[in-house]
Structure 1
Amino acid sequence: MVNEVKRSESIVVIALILVLGAIAPMLDATMTNVAVNTIMKDLGAGVDSIQWVSTGYVLALGIIVPITGWAIEWIDGKKLYLYGLMFFLAGSVVASVSTSIGLLIAGRVIQGIGSGIIIPLLTTLIVRSSGGENLGSLMSIIGIPAVLAPILGPTFGGFIVNSLDWHWIFYINVPIVIISAALIIFGLPNFEPSKKGKKLDIPSIVLLGGSFTSFILGISKVSELVSGTSNKAVLPLIISVLLMGGYVAYAILKEKSALVSLKLFKIKNFSASTILLVMSGLTVNGVMFLLPLYLQNIRGLSVVWSGIYLISQGIGLLVSRSLVGKLTDKLGARIVVQVSVFIGIAGTLPFTLFTASTSNLWIILVLFIRGIAQGGLTIPVMSDSYNNVPKELISEATTATRMLQNIGGAIGTAILATIIQHSIGSQAPTKDLLLTSYHNSFVFTVVSLVVALIPAFFLTNNRKKEVVKA
């Protein structure tokens, strides 16, 4: 009995050490979003350039996730987690000393690589250390950063920028990562690799990574079509289509080697889930990039106050997290997601009408509603992606969903930034023109939410099963 207690205590300690290492990467994304407007003015960058501070990070994270899935089977988990922390540390240092937008983006990409190693490993190593026991309580520990990030990140980031300087958003990561690394070196056991996993398929990574990167590059250049520089947008989009076509052909010819089996997309609810995960990148991640710009440039809020306002969205997400899982198990993902889409519309449509004089209470209330929708647009979709998936394809399904969710975030941010830039064009960005550009972005988000009802219809429906049984 004493040994069991000690073992359970040691597992909790392992979980807490791993979670501490993940706090900086998870908080970093929300802190950076709040500082985007300040960084843009300080570095003299446009929206089309500054969006890569978010897009580059999330794109790198999405591409590195499948590589991490392979590496955990071939490299000691403890060493791999430390590698992730070192990448994140290096990226934080580069970002913190950057004096140009190019250097800052490079730092963010390196940070994204580190996060792409740390975040997937967090769950995997905790499950391995527990042997599959007491997962409920351990998952609640894992959820700490995910819950704290949308609530504390914007406020903490706003406070740092207001009190110190935007560079300190990245400087602050340095001591946190060093402490985390020391705890992992001295407090974490080794996680021996099984060396039985699938070999890393370089052609898959190159084809998929190249396709997604080219697509985002093309989207970010669409705003220049008006100027007659269409090749800058069209060429990357053509390359993206060719690379994706190349992957499809490769996956057919090399079915056993390909990173993601095309068999998965024959499963109706899996295909619907992946489409929704990509679309949620626009409705969730993209809007998180947009909101701080709107609050600071139109509402005239300081960096601190814009962060405080965004707390209401984090609270909404926290409220929905506790209900969405139970409702999904009982009703199925279809109904939960469909209802969440309508809640998302109710939490986005008012932003297409809000002006600089709209009551602050309305802003806070609508942000809270948006937060509720976020939980219902991601958690049920992610869980439903595993329904009806054969056991031998579960690892590939995990790779696909995690990769597409993050890349969807990069695509969403790029699209909204392009809409803003396209609306402004070569004109001086007056307050009225900025308001119009933000309104256009929110209109596009609302339209995307309406379109999301189509794939949502193909998710699983438990109510139908209950009626058949009755």
Structure 2
Amino acid sequence: MLTTRKAPPDASPGIDPHLRNLAIVVVLGVIMTVLDSTIVNVAVTALGKDFDTSLSTIQWVVTGYTLALSMAIPMTGWSVRRFGARTMWLVSLGLFIGGSLLCGLAWSVPSLILFRILQGLGGGMLMPVGQTMLAKEAGPGRMGRVMSIVSVPAMLAPVLGPLLGGAIVDHLSWRWMFYVNIPLCAAALLAAVRMLPRDTERDPDARLDVTGILLLSPGLAALVYGLSEAGNGASLTGGRFLAGVAGGAVLVVAFGVHALRKGDGALIELRHLRTRAFTTATGGFFLYSASVFGLMILIPLFARIVRGESALDSGWLLAPMGVGAMITMSVAGRLVDRFGGRWIAAAGVLLVLLGALVLTTLDPGTGRAVIMGAMLVIGLGHGMIAPSLMAASYQGLPRQAVGAATTGANILIRVGSSFGTALMAVVLQIAIRDEVPGASGSLGEAAAQHTAQTPALLTSAFTETFWWTAAILLAALLPVLAVPRKTQAAES
């Protein structure tokens, strides 16, 4: 039965010690797993040289991890129902630690790829399991604040990952990219054992939707693989891109049909998620993720190809984004709990759009201060968007639907970020082919021409691509503005 809250919107309960401890455990466990998604990217060349293998082969060290992450996420909802959130948290963190140690000890490329897959299977479930625990404990009155806390790793990963990876590759062995995870995640494991309460919500009779897992996990993996191939420069008419995207889309759609027919026993109970708040918030987050991850790929590429900067210097251009996000994130969480997420998220999108428009004005001689200033503005908006939309997606959902909502949102964000990376890479290739005479779309080939006009022509290609990111941000505003106002009705 629904009851009406007597307290005004600003009288929501504070963050009590139990919820604070839970948030600490989640952030400690998630931060290295999210960083690992980007930290290895800068070491691909070093790994190829060390193992004396081709770039296309060593790229599977990154791709295998990404695909494992994507395949593990759909298992989250069922595994939490069956075994309990605490148990799955400890198991996932243990898999990640074990995978990290084995990656550091890898003796060949196949062994490294295999251990990265193991690492990804553990890391893929940590974020959604952590979000599920926090969302259930916080309730609607504190959702914005806890979502701002759990957003910290996601905010920092794209910024700190390349910097940390570059520093390790420059001064240490690449193996330390994996060894560094072990003490930090071990501390997170000990904190979880001490601070997390024992599982009380578990259903031993919960049955795994085998048909659902056979449709959704391979479908997501194929979709992400196809998009990553486009992001790595594969032709849009090539077999790997078409097979991945088309095959993945068919399997994901088939899962949707299956889940709606099956109802409560489905791997992800889609019928619980057909609310305006969930569909608009996650739809906006999907488009926003596509745009902002595209931006974070383009900036380092611009610095390296057009300006000739090192990997570490290129990574520093993203650092202000993390600073900006940290400034607004905690304030945004409090405001979301008081007023709802719609207008805060919309203001954040407009700030990111402002930063993206600055990037459309770049020229080869633009100073680093301008780029870093634009990234600071983007970060200020980013810190407002993530907690707002994550909190809004849970609005009006019953407690038992939290796991399904968390899993569904994480899947959409994962696919959205892959889609954005692939789309911006393809748009940039086309722009280079149009702008640089004789270029096929390859960045390396275009930059290698060394003519007086090459930097200006390449810059023009980049600014055209930045306009695409701005257009996607405008599209993201539509679902964000459709997010319902915060309701004051308590959940049953």
* TM-score normalized by the length of structure 2: 0.75
* Correspondence 1:49-88 to 2 at 5 A: 56-75=64-83, 79-88=87-96
Structure 1 counterpart of 2:241, which letter? A
Shift of 1:112: 2.5
Q: Distance in 1 between matches of 2:196 and 2:341?
A: 37
Mean alpha-carbon deviation: is it higher for 337-346 or for 210-219?
210-219
Taking the aligned partners of 1:11 and 1:134, their CA distance within structure 2 comes to: 10
Residue deviations 1:325-358 (CA, integer Å, cap 9, x gap): 3443455433333332222122123333423321
Which of 350, 359, 365 matches 1:357?
A: 365
Match of 2:482 in 1: 458
Q: Does 1:28 align with 2:36?
A: yes
Deviation at 1:449, TM superposition (A): 1.0
Between the aligned partners of 1:323 and 1:13, the Cα distance in structure 2 is 20
Kept in 1: contact 2:131–2:406 (CA 8 A): no
CA distance in 1, matches of 2:150, 2:368: 34
Residues 12-55 of structure 1, C-alpha deviations (whole Å, 9 max, x = no match) = 77765664333321333353455567668988866x98887666
CA offsets, 1:129-176, max 9 Å, x none?
999999999888767656665665454333222222444322322343
Which stretch shifts more, 117-126 or 346-355? 117-126
- Match in the other structure for 2:445: 429
Match of 1:445 among 469, 473, 477: 469
Partner residue, 2:355: 347
Query: How far is 1:272 from its partner?
Result: 1.8
**Aligned-partner Cα distance in 1 for 2:341–2:469:** 21
Structure 1 residue 445, shift from structure 2 partner: 1.7
Task: Please point out which of 158, 164, 183 is paired with 1:156.
Answer: 164
**CA deviations over 1:286-313 (Å, ceiling 9, x no partner):** 4334433333333333333334332211
Deviations 1:187-237 (A, max 9, x none): 8775466226743222222222233333333334555547xx544433333
Pairing 1:378–2:386 present? yes
Counting matched residue pairs gives 454
Partner amino acid for 1:445?
T
Task: Find the counterpart in structure 2 of residue 195 from structure 1.
Answer: 203
Per mean C-alpha deviation after superposition, the further-off stretch among 200-209 and 175-184 is: 175-184
Task: Write out aligned runs for 1:71-220 (5 A).
Answer: 71-75=79-83, 79-93=87-101, 95-96=103-104, 106-122=114-130, 145=153, 149=157, 152-178=160-186, 180-181=188-189, 190-191=198-199, 194-195=202-203, 198-220=206-228
Conserved 8 A contact 2:166-2:312: yes
Q: Distance in 2 between matches of 1:197 and 1:315?
A: 46
- Cα distance, 1:365 vs. partner? 0.3
Measure how far apart 1:447 and its partner are. Answer: 1.9
1:218·1:237 contact (CA, 8 Å) conserved in 2?
A: yes
Tell me what 1:308 maps to. Answer: 316
Distance 1:279 1:40 in 2: 34
Q: 1:417 to 1:105 in 2, by over 3 A?
A: farther
1:246 pairs with 2:254: yes
What's the counterpart of residue 401 of structure 2? 393
Superposition TM-score, scaled by structure 1 size: 0.78
Measured against aligned partners, the alpha-carbon deviations of 1:414-454 in whole angstroms (never above 9, x if no partner) come to 33344455656475533347656644543332221122122
**Residues 60, 437 of structure 1: CA spacing in aligned structure 2 closer, same or farther, 3 A cutoff?**
farther
**Once structures 1 and 2 are overlaid, which stretch shifts more, 146-155 or 274-283?**
146-155
d(CA) in 2 for partners of 1:301, 1:220? 25
- 1:371–1:63: structure 2 CA closer, same or farther, 3 Å change rule? same
| Structure 1: runs of 5+ lacking an equivalent | 1-7
Q: What residue is the counterpart of 2:435 in the other structure?
A: none
For residues 254 and 366 of structure 1, do their structure 2 counterparts lie closer, same or farther at Cα, with a shift above 3 Å needed?
A: same
Q: Percent identity among equivalent residues?
A: 30
Question: Using the alignment, how far apart are the partners of 1:385 and 1:77 within structure 2?
Answer: 20
Picking from 299, 303, 306, the partner of 1:295 is: 303
Taking the aligned partners of 2:480 and 2:144, their CA distance within structure 1 comes to 28
Q: Deviation of residue 316 (structure 1)? A: 0.7
How far apart are 1:265 and its partner, in Å? 5.7
**How much has 1:314 moved relative to structure 2?**
0.5
Q: Identify if the C-alpha distance between structure 1 residues 255 and 238 changes in structure 2 by more than 3 Å, giving closer, same or farther.
A: same
Q: Quick one: distance in 2 between partners of 1:139 and 1:220? A: 28
Distance change >3 Å, CA 323–CA 20, structure 1 → 2: closer
> 1:430 is aligned with what amino acid?
A
Unaligned 5+ segments in structure 2 are 1-15, 433-438, 448-453
1:82-127 CA distances to partner (integer Å, 9 max, x unpaired)?
A: 4223322343345546698876665544332211233334455678
